[in-house]
Amino acid sequence: MNKYLLIFALIFAVVSHSNLSKAQTCTACFTATADSINSLVINLDASCSNAPNALYEWHVDGTLYTVFPFPSIQLPFNVAGTHSIKLIINDQGCIDSTTQSITVFQDCNANFYPYQFGNGNYYFIGNNNSPTATYSWTYGDGNVGNTTMGYNNYATSGSYSVCCIVSDTAQGGCVDTFCQVITVNMVSTCQASFTYSLDPLTGYIFADASSSQYDPSNYSMNWYINNIPVQSGSNVSYVNILGAVGIYDLKLEITDSNQLVCSDFTQSLYWNGGVLNPICYPCITLSMNATNDSVYLDASCSVIPAGGSLKWYANGNMFADNGMPFMQGFSSFGLQTVALYSIDSNGNYCDSTFQYVYTYAPPCLSCLTVTQVPSSSSDYVFDGSCTPGATTFYWFVDNNYVTTTNTAQFVYSFSQSGTYSVCLQTVNALGNSCSQACTSVLVNTPTATQFNLSGTVYKVDNTYTYAPATANEAKVYLIKLMTGGFLDAIDSTTTDANGMYTFVNKPIDDYRIKVALQPSSPNYAINIPTYYNSALMWYNAQVITLFGNTYSKDVYMSYGANSAGSGFISGNVFLGSNKPTRSGNADVTIILIDQSNQQAIAYAKTDANGNYSFSNVPYGTYRVYGELLNRASIPDNIIVSNAQSSFTNKNFVYNDNVIKPTNIGLSVSEQAQTIAWSIYPNPANNQFTIRSSVEATLRIVDITGRQIQQVRVEMDKALTLDCSQWQSGIYLMEQNYQGNKKTMKLVINHE
């Protein structure tokens, strides 16, 4: 009896163990296919695995890449070649793995993206990144090229057909051709863009195109709904009330003075007629994949009417939702719109929602060389031109930020002997931040602790063309941010016979440059005092970082001259209450702006008693500004007409914060245009301080657009922030006051 019981117990144990093993069996399996858009991206799909609740752990060439709860993922490679991919699955403790060896081939891809960076100057950034490919460019104006990145300087405005042929014998002899028509605008960079808001109850739509790039003196903003013109002119916003339920294509088209379309931008939107339907609610859950070039989309949070369905709109196509999360790629990189529509049982749209997402090209690699300048022991040429498609260059020496350039080369002077690490991080025309590249350089030079800053002053002569200033014709001021956050002119000089200025033996710091012609100059009346980067106001001036001898910091002076007219404007500028009077106010510049084209047409300097005047002013609408260091500037609005052409006592008062009119009321939007703020020190190490002339919200984002911090800044009070835990690099400080935004660059540099 016991014998049979023992045999039964053994059989039961074996069967039980067999069933337990069967319940825990899992099998790793995946397929690897080249992406239809980019052959250097491999689509991995592990849905063939026998593991319904698994986590998917992916390894590439022996290194962990990611752990993901979904079976599919995209894997990008920088160059073609053979790679080992390993998948480990873990399904509630059941673990299995499998490995495949794949070869990534570089398809020839001639597709390119045109990028305008000046009058008639175009770069053509390609998607092909094989190091063995050859290129043939035709630019439509008779010019040709054979470089990896196309470049052409067009002489006249017009439409041109640009073609690229890519061939690559190392990739099986592939050949590809791509052509597109571009519209060249010789006036300025032109890029249409807008955001919009839609009231779901009333159908009220407001579109704002103030983020567009264009020449405000030479453009027209043309709005279309479903390709029907609805508004044209200079207004950067569009307002309407939609009259019917449906899908609308809202398009902005920017044309220049020759009626040539220089850029356009379209967004689709849906209005449900203001019907609140609790059983019709589309909902999008969106997350970026590891390389930020694709997104995972999930509509499972949506509510669908009985018998209804969901439809997606992405990448220019509309398609049905299959009830499962999926990955969506895009044919080009940049700002994308993803929309989701809820449809009832009768096939009618009952509601919609959308989200914006910015996608990037697959990772790019920075590249640099460092060579010594002949006959110099301290000057070296930093060169990043070997980086394909780069448009912005961030330079570092021994992990210390040096400068940002828009050209691939610049000369750097080392202050003392030693071995240095030189690093470059680039950003391409698509806004993609490329990986950092570094090299070392051995320097043997006499020790130096101070450096020179120089450039050329270009004035406007009596023919309204730029020409270098002559000897002693222009006075140049060197302005520094002092302790406490205030700007002060610490030195000044005059131009030489070639229009050059030079400040010698200056310490490492951030500076601003301001130029004003001397009253003895024959062009004094038509050249407005101007800061470096052609700014009229100090808070719009570009900062110059002196970290070695700095050259070619040229100033192109702004200009304007009254034509004949019968208008007259005069007034006085004086200190505010409880401020001590002082002898003269000759440091205040008064600028007259023509509102019809936003151009400065004249300026005046206050005399010893603070008086100023403008005569011979034509009929029109004007703004009068005062400009002085550390002060915001609020304008006085004046209409010169036949009914009234003379204006006296257009007085201004200023204090520590602002120069403002004494006799008019101002709207919030007008005040917001004159926000003045500063950040110091910049570059910063472990902390920095912010001052603002208004109470406002400050949003801090890194170079990829990720928000780091958001703070509230009180009016005229210093706010110090700790950045010791931030990574070294470039950050953007976005100040928002009453919906008006201003942006300033901050560099974090941990020693």
Q: In the CATH scheme, what is the code of domain 560-672?
A: 2.60.40.10
3-class secondary-structure state, position 447: coil
Which among 421, 546, 420 has a CA at the least distance from the CA of 491? Answer: 546
Collapsing DSSP states into helix, strand and coil, what is residue 21? helix
Give the CA distances from residue 174 to residues 130, 163, 167, 171, 428, in Å, rounded to whole numbers and listed in that order: 11, 17, 6, 6, 26
For the chain, the domains span: 31-104, 112-184, 195-271, 285-359, 378-443, 451-558, 560-672, 677-748
Same topology, domains 560-672 and 677-748? Answer is yes
Task: Please return the burial class of 238, using the count of CB atoms within 10 Å of its CB with bins 0-12, 13-18 and 19+.
Answer: buried
Condensed to tens digits (0 to 9), the pLDDT of residues 232-245 reads 888 888 988 887 77
The whole-number pLDDT of residue 31 equals 92
Per-residue pLDDT reduced to its tens digit, 104-138: 776 787 888 776 655 677 878 776 666 678 899 99
Mean pLDDT lowest among 38-42, 358-362, 406-410, 437-441: 358-362
Q: What letters, b where the CB count within 10 A reaches 16 and e where it falls short, cover 182-203?
A: bbbbbbbbbebbbeeebebeeb
Question: Which pLDDT tens digit goes with each residue over 414-433?
Answer: 877 788 889 888 887 656 66
Report the candidate in 561, 486, 546 with the shortest Cα–Cα distance to residue 510.
Answer: 546
Which fold is adopted by the domain 451-558? Immunoglobulin-like (2.60.40)
Residue 279: name the closest of 243, 313, 303, 255 by CA: 303
Quick one: which of 593, 587, 684 has its CA closest to 627?
A: 587
Q: Is the pLDDT of residue 19 over 50?
A: no
User: What's the mean pLDDT when you consider all of the chain?
Assistant: 79
Interacting residues of 103 by C-beta distance below 8 A, sequence separation 6+: 80, 81, 82, 83
- pLDDT at residue number 458: 94
Tokens of 252: 């902005």
Is the domain 112-184 a CATH 2.60.40.10 member? yes
677-748: what fold? Immunoglobulin-like (2.60.40)
Question: Is the distance from CB of 573 to CB of 659 less than 8 angstroms?
Answer: yes
Nearest to 524 by CA among 537, 534, 532, 515: 515
388 has a pLDDT exceeding 80: no
Measure Cα distances from 716 to 489, 616, 631, 690, 739 in Å.
Answer: 21, 39, 11, 9, 19
Query: b or e along 408-432 (b: 16 or more beta carbons within 10 Å of the residue's beta carbon)?
Result: bebebbbbeeeebebbbbbbbbbbb
The pair phi, psi for residue 159, each rounded to 5°, is -105, 135
Q: Percentage of the chain surpassing pLDDT 90?
A: 16
Note the pLDDT of residue 70.
Answer: 77
What confidence category does residue 8 fall into, taking pLDDT thresholds of 50, 70 and 90? very low
Model confidence at 494, pLDDT cuts 50, 70, 90, reads very high
What number is the average pLDDT over the span 650-661?
Answer: 82
For residues 445 and 215, what is the distance between their CA atoms, to the nearest angstrom? 47
Alpha-carbon dihedral angle through residues 206, 211, 213, 217, given to the nearest 10 degrees: 60
Looking at residue 23, its pLDDT comes to 46
Q: Which amino acid is at 91?
A: D
Q: pLDDT category, 13, cuts 50, 70, 90? A: very low
Q: Which CATH architecture describes the domain 285-359? A: Sandwich (2.60)
Is the pLDDT score of 584 beyond 60? no
Domain 31-104, architecture per CATH: Sandwich (2.60)
**Which CATH code of 1.20.120.340, 1.10.150.20, 3.30.460.80, 2.60.40.10 fits the domain covering 195-271?**
2.60.40.10
Looking at residue 676, what is its pLDDT? 60
DSSP state of 683: S
| pLDDT for residue 669 | 41
Quickly name the fold that domain 378-443 has: Immunoglobulin-like (2.60.40)
- Whether residue 295 is predicted with pLDDT greater than 60 in this model: the reply is yes
- Please report which confidence band the pLDDT of residue 563 belongs to, taking 50, 70 and 90 as the band edges: low
> pLDDT at position 351, please?
76
Rounded to an integer, the average pLDDT of 567-571 is 91
Half-sphere exposure of 568 (CA within 13 A, CB side): 4
User: Nearest 5°: CA angle at 192, between 190 and 196?
Assistant: 155
Work out the percent of the chain whose per-residue pLDDT is above 70. Answer: 81
Range in 332-336, 485-489, 522-526, 585-589 with the lowest mean pLDDT: 585-589
The tens digit of pLDDT for each residue in 700-731 reads 887 666 778 878 787 667 788 888 878 777 78
